[in-house]
Amino acid sequence: MKAIPFSRAARMISRGTWSFMTDRPLVVSFELTHSCTADCLHCDKGKIKPEPDGLLRAADYGRLVRQLKPMAVQLSGGEPLLRKDLAEIVRAVKEPSGLPYTILVSNGRLFTEEKYLALRALGVNQFSFSLDFPDERHDGFRQSPGLYQHLSKLVPALAAHGFDDVALNTAITRENLPTLEDTYERARQWGVSISYSAYTPLRTHSMEHYISSTDDLDLLRRTLDNLLKLKAQYGRIANSDWTLSGIHDFFLHGSIPGCTAGRRFMVITPTGGMRACSMYEDTFTSQKEILKEWVPKNECGGCYVSIRSYLDASFWTLLKDNLSNRVFTKESQAKQC
Ligand SMILES: C[S@@+](CC[C@H](N)C(=O)[O-])C[C@H]1O[C@@H](n2cnc3c(N)ncnc32)[C@H](O)[C@@H]1O
Q: What digits encode the pLDDT tens for the residues 56-72?
A: 999 999 999 999 999 99
Quick check: CB of 43 below 6 Å from ligand 1? Answer: yes
For residue 243, which amino acid is it? T
User: From residue 157, how far is each of 64, 103, 153, 301 by CA, in Å?
Assistant: 34, 19, 6, 39
Residue 332's pLDDT band (cuts 50, 70, 90): very low
Integer Cα distance of 89 and 217 in angstroms: 42
Task: Name the residue with the closest Cα to ligand 1, atom 20.
Answer: 199
**What's the 43 CA to ligand 1 centre distance in angstroms?**
6
Quick check: CB of 305 below 6 Å from ligand 1? Answer: yes
pLDDT of 170 higher than 90: yes
Integer Cα distance of 184 and 325 in angstroms: 19
What is the reported pTM? 0.93
Quick check: CB of 174 below 6 Å from ligand 1? Answer: no
Burial of residue 102 (number of CB atoms within 10 Å: 0-12, 13-18, 19+): buried
Lowest mean pLDDT across 54-63, 150-159, 191-200, 323-332? 323-332
Residue 8 pLDDT: 78
Q: Say which residue, 240 or 335, is predicted with more confidence.
A: 240
**Structurally, what CATH architecture does the domain formed by 6-336 represent?**
Alpha-Beta Barrel (3.20)
Residue 279 pLDDT: 93
Quick check: CB of 236 below 6 Å from ligand 1? Answer: no
Quick check: CB of 306 below 6 Å from ligand 1? Answer: no
Residue 325 pLDDT: 54
Q: What is the mean pLDDT of the chain?
A: 92
Q: Across residues 283-307, what is the average pLDDT?
A: 93
Contact 186, 145 (CB under 8 A): no
Domain map (residue ranges) of the chain: 6-336
Task: Name the residue with the closest Cα to ligand 1, atom 14.
Answer: 43
Please give the share of the chain, as a percent, with pLDDT higher than 70.
Answer: 90
